Amino acid sequence: AGLVGYLASDTAASITAQALNVCGGLGNF
């Protein structure tokens, strides 16, 4: 649910996308 709010923001979306790539997926969240 929290990720939806981040994805809604263009700036946060870019950061989230990079974070997911570093973490390797949503599994860490």
For residues 10 and 5, give the distance between their C-alpha atoms in angstroms, rounded to a whole number. 10
For residues 19 and 1, give the distance between their C-alpha atoms in angstroms, rounded to a whole number. 17
Contact call for residues 3 and 16 (beta carbons, < 8 A): yes
Identify the DSSP state of 25: S
The residues near 15 (Cβ < 8 Å, ≥ 6 apart) are 6
pLDDT in tens, 12-26: 667 766 666 655 555
- Report whether pLDDT(29) > 60: no
Asked whether the whole model's pTM tops 0.85, one would answer no
If one compares 27 and 21, the residue with the highest pLDDT of the two is 21
Domain residue extents for the chain: 1-29
